[in-house]
Structure 1
Amino acid sequence: MKIAFYGSSLLSSYWNGAATYYRGLLRDLAARGYAITFYEPDAYDRQAHRDIDPPDWAAVRVYPATPEAMRAVAAEAASADVVVKASGVGVFDDELLAGVVAASRPEAIRIFWDVDAPATLAELAAAPDHPLHRAMPELDLVLTYGGGPPVIAAYEGFSAAACIPVYNALDPTTHHPVPAEPRFAGDLAFLGNRLPDREARVETFFLDAAARLPQRAFLIGGSGWADKAMPANVRHLGHVYTREHNAFNTTPLAVLNIARDSMAAVGYSPATRVFEAAGADACLITDAWTGLDLFLAEGTEVLVARDGRDVAEHLAALTPERARAVGAAARARITAEHSYAHRGAQVDAILRRVAEEKRSGGKRGRGAA
């Protein structure tokens, strides 16, 4: 089957947290025989910050961020068997959704793939005339990269034919242990862009912990933090390219995961960083959120904190031996249960089932798990 996938960027992770997710899933689907074209706009300076060259497992079409170019690439949905419009493309999202739905053939599988379900659902609740409401009757599936039962119920309440979470995962060929790099040496490292619904939690879980342990070394990577006031023992790294993530995760004593406000509230939303860290054998400390136990066991495969005091206490008590044991256990669990091979098999089964239902005139999407 031919997939036309319209997303933010496959080539760059710059202000684009979905890049690792797209790469892992689409690479696996390509290995299963799908012919994939990924459409991404030339926007937000991402093309100047590419992490990868165009891969051999997907054709990448970078188009100018203009209405004319958007309409031209939307029209190409007519040649695909599976048409995917992801959330958060960032340029003409509403028009692109309408365009690809209108252009796709009736027998094609139409999917809205939500990489930020809490934000999208809040928009749908606030705006009865939202374009996604209008598109919903034409969609065969809503897929999300997190959210669990609350998100499924909410989307089905908005008349989605079916909503199925396809969680983040690990690609062990790209995220794995590497030798330590002095640039990333420290006791606790956090990687994430500065966003309005994350900043307060970074203050609570990361900066508060740093203030409590002035003798320990803390690192923060990601865009937007340069003018943020921080304790003297915090070193700001700026944007960390995906090719550097393994060293970033392998080198420090521990790494910290902090969910955004909306993701923490909904739960069942492990970030790509969780799987990247586990793949690199990192000892992960995470804020608490519902559904974590589906992926990692507290105390043995991950350390869980409720606030900055908890983070500081975990770090103060952590020995290199304990850190290695937690990291190794996390890597074993994630590799065995949560690789992109697992997610690719899930999506492949979903697509084949829905295609058969459409051919036989069955109800679109229902029961495709």
Structure 2
Amino acid sequence: MRIVVFGLSITSSWGNGHATTFRALTKALHAAGHSVLFAERDVPWYASHRDLPDPPFCELALYGSVGEARERFAADVRDADAVVVGSYVPDGVAIGEWATETAGGTTAFYDIDTPVTLAKLAAGDHEYLAPALIPKYDVYLSFTGGPTLTRLEREFGSPAARPLYCSVDPDLYRPDDGVPRDLDLGYLGTWSADRQPTVDRFLIETARALPERRFAVAGPQYPESIDWPANVDRTDHLPPAEHARFYNRQRFTLNVTRADMIAAGYAPSVRLFEAAACGTPVISDRWAGLDELLTPGEEILIADSPADVRRWLTEVSEEERAAIGAAARRRVLAEHTAERRAAELVAHLSERPAPPAGPSR
């Protein structure tokens, strides 16, 4: 297939989780024989933090405005087998309206932020998607599965809402026995107001209670007002090339989910799969659908209180810890690799629903 993608970013992972998702997916598509044109809005905050300025697995095009995109990519959009527009794309409504009117093949909206998107729509915020645009896309690809898919079809009129969870590139994320496990618990994620209370309870409070243990938090945009304990290492930005080493340093890693995604359920973070692929056991907050992705107690540990976190750090034997990590790695390699996700994407794009009776779009 020839696929055109308008995405938030593939060149910069700074402050977003989209880049690693698009990198893994397009790399797997390329390996399977498909070709991808990735069109990315050239914005200054990513231009100054590009850690993959020339991705080898897709054709990259940076554009400066909607008008430029329409002029440069009209033929590509018309001739492609599929056109995918991602969430949080600048001027995403205008891009989506033009793409759905111009495309000759399947059109899809890829929502890496589905619960956030639906909350924005409920508030009348149409930053990158409007309710009237949803039925115009042939397929709504969602990072969130479960009941949200039914809602997208029944309430918003999507012809086909399908799950397309995040994934992991096993070439990049794997165990490394050469890296010392010198951290008891770590967390990788950009600061957000709704995640921070859980980080406070599960990591900062635990670090204060266990001063002899070592902890780490990596990610940008954390306020200077946070009082980090002395045994918490802070890294402002960790590029993707260093993520696997960071996970391999940890005895356990913490997964924290945004409030909107907890409410919707069925919304795994890419960090969850990346850590598991490294064989690092994950301690996660609780949300609906998590037990369908990884088995609690065997492949993942679900915390309801700081006491749970403290108990696992101090009472789980090294043998038990390694067994949980190994079991999670087996499950992720079987069900959540980028190769598996790319095949699902192609299948969803190939099942384009029949157009309604009447004039074509």
TM-score normalised to structure 2 length: 0.90
Deviating 4+ runs (over 4 angstroms): 128-131, 179-182
1:51-62 paired onto structure 2 within 5 Å: 51-62=51-62
- Give the aligned length: 353
Matching residue of 2:149: 152
- 1:367 maps to none
Instruction: Determine if the alignment matches structure 1 residue 215 to structure 2 residue 212.
Output: yes
> Which sections of structure 2, spanning at least 5 residues, go unmatched?
none
- Equivalent residue number for residue 366 of structure 1: none
Distance 2:54 2:313 in 1: 40
Per the alignment, residue 28 of structure 2 pairs with 28
Structure 1: tracts of 5 or more residues without a match: 364-369
Once the two structures are TM-superposed, the CA of residue 245 in structure 1 deviates from its matched residue by 0.8
Q: 1:77-123: CA deviations, max 9, x gaps?
A: 2332211110012x222222223223323xx1111111100111112
Give 1:94's aligned amino acid: V
Deviation string for 1:22-63 (max 9, x for gaps)? 122222222333221001122252233233352332101122
SS at match of 2:30: helix
User: Which of residues 176, 183, 188 is equivalent to 1:186?
Assistant: 183
Alpha carbon RMSD of aligned pairs, Å? 2.2
Partner Cα distance (2:255, 2:178) in 1: 20
Q: What's the secondary structure of 1:187's corresponding residue?
A: strand
Aligned to 1:94: 93
Relative distance call for 1:154 and 1:319 in structure 2 (3 A) is: same
1: CA distance between counterparts of 2:174 and 2:283? 18
User: Kindly tell me: are residues 84 and 161 of structure 1, through their superposed partners in 2, closer, same or farther at Cα, counting changes over 3 Å?
Assistant: same
Moved more, 74-83 or 287-296: 74-83
SS in 2 for 1:178: coil
| Of 132, 135, 156, the match for 1:134 | 132
Match of 2:175 in 1: 177
CA-CA distance at 1:5 after TM superposition? 0.3
Deviations 1:263-285 (A, max 9, x none): 11211111000111011111211
Give the match's secondary structure for 2:25.
helix
Question: Alignment partner of 2:63: what SS?
Answer: strand
Counterpart-to-counterpart distance in 2, 1:62 and 1:185: 41
- Measured in 1, the distance between the counterparts of 2:66 and 2:349 equals 30
The question of whether the paired residues in 1 share the 8 Å contact of 2:16 and 2:190 is answered with no
Counterpart contact for 2:3–2:35, Cα < 8 Å: yes
Alignment check: 8 A CA contact 2:13 2:51 kept: yes
Partner of 2:313: 315
Q: State yes or no: 1:112 paired with 2:109.
A: yes
**Equivalent residue, structure 2, for 1:297:** 295
CA contact (8 A) 2:119 2:260 kept: no
Q: Any conservation in 2 of the 1:74–1:99 contact (CA below 8 Å)?
A: no
Residues 62-86 of structure 1: CA distance to partner in whole angstroms, max 9, x if unpaired?
223x454344456352332211110
**Are 1:339 and 2:331 counterparts?**
no
Q: Secondary structure at the match of 1:4?
A: strand
Residue 263 of structure 2 is aligned to residue 265 of structure 1: yes
Matches of 1:16 and 1:237, distance apart in 2: 16
Secondary structure of 2:302's aligned partner: strand
